[in-house]
Structure 1
Amino acid sequence: MPPNTTATTGDTAATGATSVKSGRKKGRKARLIVLVLVLAIIGGVAYGAYWSISTVRASFPQTTGTITLDGLSGPVDVKRDGNGIPQIYASSDEDLFMAQGFVQAQDRFYEMDVRRHMTSGRLSEMFGKGQVENDQFLRTLGWDRIAEQEYEHKLSAATKKYLQAYAKGVNAYLDGKDAKDISLEYAALGFANDYAPGKWTPVDSVSWLKAMAWDLRGNMQDEIDRALMTSRLGPQQIADLYPEYPYGRNKPIVREGRYDTVTKTFQQGGAGSATGTTGTTATTGTTGSSTSAGSSTTGSGVTSQLAGLYKVLDDVPAAVGVNGQGIGSNSWVVGGRYTITGKPLLANDPHLSASLPSVWYQMGLHCRTVSAKCQYDVTGYTFAGMPGVIIGHNANIAWGMTNSGVDVTDLYLEKLSSNGYLYDGKVKPFTSREETIKVAGGSSKKIVVRQTKDGMPLLSDRDDELVKVGRKATVDSAAPDRGDGYGIALKWTALQPGTSMDAVFAIDRAADWTAFRSAAALFDVPSQNLIYADTENHIGYTLPGKIPTRGEGDGSLPVPGWDSKYRWTGYIDQDELPYEYNPKRGYIVTANQAVVDKDKYPYTLTTDWGYGARSQRITDLIESKIKGGGKISTDDMRQMQLDNSSEIARLLVPKLLKINIADKDVREAQSLLEGWDYTQDADSAAAAYFNAVWRNILKLAFGNKMPKELRVKGQCLWMDKSNDTGPVDDDTKVRECGERDADQAQPDGGDRWFEVVRRLMDDENSDWWKAPAAGTRPKADNRDELFGRAMIDARWELTAKLGKDIDTWSWGRLHRLFLKNQTLGTEGPGFLQYVLNRGPWRLSGGEATVNASGWNAAGGYGVVWVPSMRMVVNLKELDKSRWINLTGASGHAFSAHYTDQTDKWAKGELLPWSYSSKAVDGSTSDTLVLKP
């Protein structure tokens, strides 16, 4: 079954399950797997044909008829539409969530199983010794241990009941099944080891929130980057690369609220007023200072440790993002006075790693009669492996999420000795525990995890080289004597038990703004921007989360762990966090920009916001419609999600067109930019050339000036150079990130770099614009010479990639999406990858555009994160809402619903979203009855 070969345009959004390296070497076992699958799937012999039919069909879900499930109190209907999306109808909460567990396991259990092994640091049990290093790091973080504490001590009795019911449903699906009957991947794994999936537990579900929080953790990577930069760059140069957020140009989310210094609460401005306050509060601490003492912790040994940590973090499997780097999301809501319907419209498209299957699972959870016994009538996007709906709507309200980016992690340099670590002049003992990592095949490895008294794990213990370097570390006079060395510890809000699982169910039940804000306050990690709309014509925004206050330091750099002045002093009280309700302007936009103007708020939420390119473009699109006297429709919201306009092209192209180019071939490429409207359509040759010029500007201006420790792995993709069809063999594939010089730290090209270049544009002779000659390529001594050199380099880069004839160039030929099964589809035998993976799709959009099909300039032009889903909720007529997923409902490679939504997603289309019982019945293709 060949991969999908449709070449279409689309938008970003992506999500990912766990990226896993199987660790199996290509040897006898791998060859055996390939041989058996060839026989089975191609049907080369009679037994192979039988194996194919029995294995593949056995794993498909039963979607019609009746199944008896022990533990149900009454019958449950599971109605699936033509895309396999289920709507569940039950008469009690427990039956509803038990059925959710059963149905998600039918479609996605292999994905669920891999995720729980990732979150608990047990990937080696499935995939062998190649995962031991990842498991060591994940065990050090201890997500599953924290999740267990949450389940035992923090979550409400009702939430525990729902989690238990969900686990009961998953286990009802597993009961009596061999692994090969669950999924094709297990059948393949069975030839390499004797792995069999165990029972599902409530803690398995809770742990997933920790993995999500890790990928959305904020600015930890920027902390490391800035610290490493001090080895080569001065304070002003670092400031050039981390400019202030442009508050005057790119508006923050909250514009009409204000912080009251007397009552120490955030108060509503504008036409509306909040109808209630948040439920829970936390201890209020002092405001973080504007400077960090992290610079005092730099030195050759510390630099080596941080560089080592860089590598460790880069190899950790990603849950939903790209390990915290570069990703973002869009959400916005428009009030009824500016919409065609007269009621709010709400849009959301989270930008996450592209994975197969998509991290999202569409589903409706309906009580036949909403009552105290059965409280839910909600639909939207869920995570397979976790009960409830994460993003969506119920009968009264709709909500969306984007990552807030607030700083909830800090790195501490710890002074180590044989007896512990230094703290305020005294040696404190570590708290230690021993962990045993089991490895497929029967072996195991023991590790010791060390933590400080306030629960910070010592990350540097997970790399032998870091420990050796730490013992030889040298730092400046601000640090104590060298002694036995140094280590790096992590402070992170998610390493404490929380209540985010309670928040999921509370939001699903909320019927108004007061209940929504109270529910949101329970969502402590990861901190998210939450937008809101209701059928009574109200809109709102709230920032929940456990957000720390600091004594010394502002979280922008690693700080000395031996000095208590740098410890956290508390958390911002929930009543002090920014929000808006019915703002006068009539709309709210969140796209990872600054939450609130720093001059109007006393706390440092982060020093590293997204820079607002997407949020301001969305704002401008809404304003242009409003000022033109028009009303916004559901389709207008969809079209805004597909906007491909490039802000950096709008800034640079006028300058590029003025540069005198002598080479006629380069002039020919330059002419592509004449009259270009800056939109990055898949068929645009101008977009292809401009993005190549932009990548080369970054490389020439910054790549050879930053420390080599900042080398970014990028998202290197094997690409078929000749066409878009069939598997890629060794003779035709090219490494998409192979051009990067090994000793350069190539910028990723996100909207921070837009702002860096914008602020340097008027300084035509800045040292940043100087670049040495390379072969026949001229050196550059100023801005225009560097731009000219970038145009030359881009011309010949694209000639090598796309051919000399510029009439054949297009952005989509460079900017392609490959969907890969995140385990055997990335590291399994080649034929298995052929069976499990799909693509490519040629996409429109680009980095920091609203249609955010992200690419990393450090690694080429291939798509690495996307809008993982898109939705538009119509609060006037909920059945006229629209939605789409990146892939499909099923995780089974040969299911009709494996990637049945991807073509439409790539074209920017949305599917009908049935909600009412009448609409659901009208769209139902299959009905399954679950009976007690």
Structure 2
Amino acid sequence: MTDQTVSAHGSPDEAAARRSWWRTFRAWPRWARIPAYVATGLVLVLLAAAVGGLVLYRKPLPQTSGTVELPGLGAEVEVLRDEHGIPQVYADSDADLMRAQGYVHAQERFYEMDVRRHVTAGRLAELFGTDGLVTDKMIRTMGWRRVAEQELGLISAETRSALDSYAAGVNAYLAQHSASDIAVEYTLLRASGLDYTPEPWTAVDSLAWLKAMAWDLRGNMGEEIDRVVTSLDQSPEGVATLFPPYDFDRATPIVTRGAVVDGVFEQDATRNATRNPRRVALAPEAVAALDGLRDSLEEMPALIGRGDALGSNSWVVAGEHTATGQPLLANDPHLGVSLPGIWMQMGLHCRVVAADCTLDVAGFTFSGVPGVVIGHNADIAWGFTNLGPDVSDLFLEKVQGSTWTYDGHQEPLRVREETIVVRDADDFTLRVRETAHGPLISDVSGEISSVGANSGGYAVSLAWTALQPSTTADAILLLNRAADWDEFRAAASRFAVPSQNLVYADREGHIGYQAPGLVPIRQSGNDGSMPAEGWLPENDWTGEFVPFDGLPSVLDPEEGFIVTANQAVIGPEYPYALTSDWDHGYRSERIRDLLEAELADGGDITVDEMAAMQTDELNPIAATLVPYLLEVDGLPRGYYREGLAELADWDLREGAESGAAAYFNVVWSNLLRLAFADDLRARIAPTGGDRWFKVVADLLDDPAADLWDDRRTEDVREVRDDVLREALMAARDEITKRQSVRPQEWSWGHLHRLDLRNQTLGGSGIGAVEWLLNRDGFEVGGGSGVVNATGWDASQGYGVTSAPSMRMVVSLADFDDSRWINLTGVSGHPASGHYVDQTELYVAGRTLPWVFGRKGVEDAAEDTLVLSPQR
């Protein structure tokens, strides 16, 4: 297949016409709104650049051919890049591979790496001033970098060596280049008055970024708070309706059989066990503390994720059902959208695999972290989806002065102070307080801190497995080296946080699944679904975790495939409590339906069919809701009926060009607003994802349910069809204003746009800077709860908020037949042709060839850079 790329952003005039300065500025996180003096400097440097040409803009582009010295190498290393700039690295030792990977990551992505380490160390204010303080206080309070420093003593000697070699490669690049040579963002920041030189990279910088990924995939912290806030206005029955339990009869778990016997999960065993924690009511002051905490959590920058409504798809099919006779494995993790994207494709190859050169692996890497996170080596392939176990708990603490209440006694708070350096302002002294459960994260808010400090006041502490030093960094490199199922599981046993569903396939024809990670075992008073009273010992964690051998796993299941899409891992009889907040299984069931349809027809699944499944756009709630909409009585004829007519012949797919999909989603947004605005506070308004599919589907069967009634109309009791009718009419008016009065001119992609914004300066509010760094306006299909999971928040608008961050399909029969695609491109430089050169293909649902063998890599190479030892 020959793929063509086109401009991602059109002409400057077109881009400017699409962009509203004020809307963009207000929507960006507070810490990224650059002060006026910074903005003035940015304008000046852009004017200078316009006069002086594109020198500063293009200056950071890396050298990709010829020879460069890289001190510390044992022998020459080759870096072969294809037409999309994807590097494949060849060396004679693991140390050289790691050093070269660090160098290449720094070439393409160092500014991204540097911002990430400032975030994870709680040092964002050093770069961006007081607007970074809230983030810095939260990160310092949790102590991410302190935990990462402790992990250096836990990881294996091999991992520590890899981290040090990687850091040496990064630092060699920094030593050879000034800040303006490294990234255009440094030039812009310098023009704003920031005198800054990047510090050397360290092993701790790499480990700390794993905490950010754990934060993004941390589980149900938001749901814990939302349940409490919902309870302010709803009865227990109402809360249960708005947070429906997982329906095991409708959505198939990942592992469909097996049980824990004497602490070990056996896929052919049977055993039943249950836990029934008691529920508690919280005082209004405690609820207020939690409500305020939500404000602080929402201040966290998007680049480390918000931990809300994120998921992923992966599935693996045994060779008996594939055209190749060997397994096929697909994966597409769903994360927040950003520029550059989270992943950088890369291959790490030993010219000869031997004792001191063990790697022959390719896939998706994190810039800043050595090794390949998701991909395949010469023997196995693996993929990740978020398992989503409840690994964090919020505890309400009764705080009096310097003590907290526990089991009827006052215990001393642990206190430490940290100094946060703030650009162009006085240093900030942060006082961090901790109970035995964890740090008081409510102290980040000045208002809540004062509540906690008062006699008898409440504060909120966080217990989270990621705040315990772990060995996750070991797992990455062990996965890279694993040659079979046993070695794969040994690698998974080192994977602590974030807990992921791991799917597996190997060249011997086996497929499998393993759940890894630290999952706490709680005492009987706490099921993790709501914040617990920290003063009651029965709410504590036991200090033990679900044993790795007791976590669900399966090898070569009878049905010949495994699907993971954030649904329940295993049935309710499983003896350990993993979580009660699973994804409700709409994506997983659709993937199963697609696979079963292929198998029922006797077809052998191909790589192309696997890739096509990843872009399936069937809306799972539409089949349930549309028949009710079509039967609504009393809808005025003419103008309003024209909208409804679009749904009559709709195939229920959310293609970018679909007018019916556009109208349906506007109806859906209005339905959620009309049905629940009177029942829920604005901060927890319906987002429209899979939980709301289940809530509405259940309510449709009860047309007189209390939740249909608008509490604000005291003399009228609304029922289901009243709300549906008003939603249809409001949607017709809204889409007419947004697009056209003519239904044939509607399209979902016009509303559902993918805007790729630079993670820091892309929200400056300055049109020229945003045009330089951002790439906006991609019209996409898919949606929340859809296999092509381009998520959107119905309480905010229709734009894409999360998306498949990459897609891959691995063929175990011939790795060179595999396919991959990135959301953006490998480069973090806006002047690079590889900044977003994969995005147009991604939007179109296309993929790139993923060659692995040396001959294929050489045939595809367009540039070769030789890294040579220092002479």
Please indicate the TM-score interval, normalised by the length of the shorter structure. over 0.9
> Residue in 1 aligned with 2:704?
765
Counterparts of 1:2-151 in structure 2 under 5 Å? Answer: 4-5=9-10, 21-27=31-37, 29-40=38-49, 43=50, 45=51, 48-49=52-53, 52-53=54-55, 55-151=56-152
Amino acid in the other structure paired with 2:468: Q
Listed one character per residue, the Cα deviations across residues 774-802 of structure 1 (whole Å, up to 9, x for unaligned) are 9xxx9762111211111011111111111
> Residue in 2 aligned with 1:161?
161
Task: Tell me the secondary structure at the aligned position of residue 647 of structure 1.
Answer: coil
Displacement of 1:442 in angstroms is 6.0
Listed one character per residue, the Cα deviations across residues 396-433 of structure 1 (whole Å, up to 9, x for unaligned) are 00000000010000000111112311111221112211
Counterparts of 1:585-604 in structure 2 under 5 Å? Answer: 585-599=559-573, 601-604=574-577
> Residue in 2 aligned with 1:479?
none
Displacement of 1:299 in angstroms is 2.7
Displacement of 1:187 in angstroms is 0.2
> Residue in 1 aligned with 2:22?
none
Task: Tell me the secondary structure at the aligned position of residue 618 of structure 1.
Answer: helix
Amino acid in the other structure paired with 2:283: G
The answer to whether residue 806 in structure 2 is matched with residue 866 in structure 1 is no
The answer to whether residue 408 in structure 2 is matched with residue 408 in structure 1 is no
Unpaired runs of 5+ residues, structure 1, are: 8-17, 271-285, 473-482, 713-744
| Aligned residue among 339, 356, 363 for 1:356 | 339
| Aligned residue among 305, 315, 321 for 1:332 | 315
The answer to whether residue 288 in structure 2 is matched with residue 304 in structure 1 is yes
| Aligned residue among 668, 674, 681 for 2:655 | 681
Counterparts of 1:876-891 in structure 2 under 5 Å? Answer: 876-891=813-828
Preserved CA contact (<8 Å) 2:30 2:131:
no
Query: CA separation in 2, counterparts of 1:252 and 1:319?
Result: 31
Displacement of 1:663 in angstroms is 4.2
Listed one character per residue, the Cα deviations across residues 58-96 of structure 1 (whole Å, up to 9, x for unaligned) are 311111111111111111000000100000001011100
Query: CA separation in 1, counterparts of 2:92 and 2:154?
Result: 28
> Residue in 1 aligned with 2:754?
817
Task: Tell me the secondary structure at the aligned position of residue 824 of structure 2.
Answer: coil
Query: CA separation in 1, counterparts of 2:10 and 2:317?
Result: 37
Task: Tell me the secondary structure at the aligned position of residue 755 of structure 2.
Answer: strand
Going from structure 1 to structure 2, the CA distance change for 1:169 and 1:442 (only over 3 Å counts) comes to farther
Unpaired runs of 5+ residues, structure 2, are: 1-5, 15-27
Going from structure 1 to structure 2, the CA distance change for 1:20 and 1:928 (only over 3 Å counts) comes to farther
The answer to whether residue 179 in structure 2 is matched with residue 179 in structure 1 is yes
Displacement of 1:509 in angstroms is 0.2
Displacement of 1:621 in angstroms is 0.3
Displacement of 1:470 in angstroms is 4.0
Preserved CA contact (<8 Å) 2:303 2:759:
no
Task: Tell me the secondary structure at the aligned position of residue 728 of structure 2.
Answer: helix
> Residue in 2 aligned with 1:748?
687
Amino acid in the other structure paired with 1:33: L
> Residue in 2 aligned with 1:342?
325
Preserved CA contact (<8 Å) 2:45 2:191:
no
Query: CA separation in 2, counterparts of 1:442 and 1:224?
Result: 34
> Residue in 2 aligned with 1:796?
733
Query: CA separation in 2, counterparts of 1:779 and 1:792?
Result: 19
Counterparts of 1:417-566 in structure 2 under 5 Å? Answer: 417-441=400-424, 443-453=426-436, 456-470=438-452, 483-551=455-523, 552-566=525-539
Amino acid in the other structure paired with 1:267: E
| Aligned residue among 598, 605, 609 for 1:636 | 609
Query: CA separation in 2, counterparts of 1:699 and 1:881?
Result: 44
Amino acid in the other structure paired with 2:233: R
Displacement of 1:760 in angstroms is 1.6
Query: CA separation in 1, counterparts of 2:30 and 2:815?
Result: 39
Displacement of 1:771 in angstroms is 2.8
Displacement of 1:573 in angstroms is 0.7
> Residue in 2 aligned with 1:373?
356
Query: CA separation in 1, counterparts of 2:685 and 2:425?
Result: 42
- % identity of equivalent residues: 49
Preserved CA contact (<8 Å) 2:396 2:459:
yes
> Residue in 1 aligned with 2:204?
203
Amino acid in the other structure paired with 2:549: D
Counterparts of 1:687-706 in structure 2 under 5 Å? Answer: 687-706=661-680
Listed one character per residue, the Cα deviations across residues 91-111 of structure 1 (whole Å, up to 9, x for unaligned) are 011100000000000000000
| Aligned residue among 547, 551, 572 for 2:546 | 572
Displacement of 1:20 in angstroms is 7.5
Listed one character per residue, the Cα deviations across residues 109-138 of structure 1 (whole Å, up to 9, x for unaligned) are 000000000011000111111111211111
Task: Tell me the secondary structure at the aligned position of residue 862 of structure 2.
Answer: strand
Listed one character per residue, the Cα deviations across residues 125-168 of structure 1 (whole Å, up to 9, x for unaligned) are 111111112111110011111000001x2101110000000000
> Residue in 2 aligned with 1:739?
none
Query: CA separation in 2, counterparts of 1:524 and 1:31?
Result: 46
Preserved CA contact (<8 Å) 2:526 2:540:
no
Query: CA separation in 1, counterparts of 2:41 and 2:745?
Result: 43
Displacement of 1:845 in angstroms is 0.6
> Residue in 1 aligned with 2:190?
190
Mean Cα deviation higher: 782-791 or 798-807: 798-807
Displacement of 1:826 in angstroms is 1.4
Preserved CA contact (<8 Å) 2:472 2:495:
yes
Counterparts of 1:388-399 in structure 2 under 5 Å? Answer: 388-399=371-382
Q: What TM-score, normalized to structure 1?
A: 0.88
Task: Tell me the secondary structure at the aligned position of residue 59 of structure 1.
Answer: coil
Query: CA separation in 2, counterparts of 1:420 and 1:319?
Result: 36
| Aligned residue among 276, 280, 287 for 1:290 | 276
Preserved CA contact (<8 Å) 1:331 1:402:
yes
Q: What TM-score, normalized to structure 2?
A: 0.94
> Residue in 2 aligned with 1:893?
830
Task: Tell me the secondary structure at the aligned position of residue 399 of structure 1.
Answer: strand
Counterparts of 1:255-294 in structure 2 under 5 Å? Answer: 255-260=256-261, 263-269=262-268, 289-293=275-279
Preserved CA contact (<8 Å) 1:287 1:604:
no
Displacement of 1:697 in angstroms is 1.2
Listed one character per residue, the Cα deviations across residues 832-884 of structure 1 (whole Å, up to 9, x for unaligned) are 11110002111011110101110111111111111000000000000000000
| Aligned residue among 645, 650, 664 for 1:671 | 645
Preserved CA contact (<8 Å) 1:610 1:752:
yes
Task: Tell me the secondary structure at the aligned position of residue 175 of structure 1.
Answer: helix
Displacement of 1:39 in angstroms is 3.3
Listed one character per residue, the Cα deviations across residues 197-245 of structure 1 (whole Å, up to 9, x for unaligned) are 1110000000010010011000010000111122111100000011111
Preserved CA contact (<8 Å) 2:513 2:553:
yes
Listed one character per residue, the Cα deviations across residues 479-504 of structure 1 (whole Å, up to 9, x for unaligned) are xxxx4311100000000000000000
The aligned length equals 843
Listed one character per residue, the Cα deviations across residues 891-932 of structure 1 (whole Å, up to 9, x for unaligned) are 000101000000000001010001001111110110011111
> Residue in 2 aligned with 1:581?
555
Amino acid in the other structure paired with 1:543: A
CA RMSD of aligned residues (A): 1.9
